Amino acid sequence: MTEILEMYKCNVCGNIVEVVISGAGELVCCGQPMEKMQEQNKNQEMSGEKHVPVVEKDEDGIKVKVGSVPHPMEKEHYIMFIEVNSKDKRYVKRKYLYPDEEPVLNLKCSCDKVIARELCNIHGFWTSEDEQA
């Protein structure tokens, strides 16, 4: 059974899909079951805190940057997207990124708590919860 907002990757061609409606079926690509991508968080960070999304809030909204130390944004190694979800998973905002762009998402939002996620093309899927109430 899939759950809303889970991400799956094809280990043959590299396709990545996100579940938008939960279902009982198996996700298949290139004739093989897709692998559920595991969310990594600050407990798994081993590379100088360059991957865990950092959520900052002020009166203008929410700012999410990738890592407390700037993440490389080079052709070979970059953040593919940053995503912010409301805690109840009803609101989702994603910004796709390209090499040489700053890995930051600014969002006008009044959500009390959010979950921030990002995908590094080399080191995978990272997440953090807003610790501010």
Task: For residues 116 and 133, give the distance between their C-alpha atoms in angstroms, rounded to a whole number.
Answer: 15
Residue 54 contacts residue 43 (beta carbons within 8 Å): no
CATH code at position 25: 2.20.28.100
Lowest mean pLDDT, pick from 23-32, 44-53, 57-66, 83-92: 44-53
pLDDT at residue 120, rounded to an integer = 94
Query: 87 and 26 in one domain?
Result: no
79 and 25 in a common domain: no
Query: For 92-116, what is the mean pLDDT?
Result: 91
Please tell me whether residues 31 and 59 are part of one structural domain: no
Q: HSE (CB half, 13 Å, CA atoms) of 2?
A: 22
What is the value of pTM for the model shown? 0.86
State whether 32 and 57 are in the same domain. Answer: no
Give the CATH number, domain containing residue 58.
2.60.40.730
Find all residues with CB under 8 Å of 41, minimum gap 6, and list them.
52, 126, 127, 128
The pLDDT tens digits for 36-78 are: 999 888 776 665 478 889 998 888 888 999 988 888 899 999 9
Which residue range is the domain that position 19 belongs to? 7-36
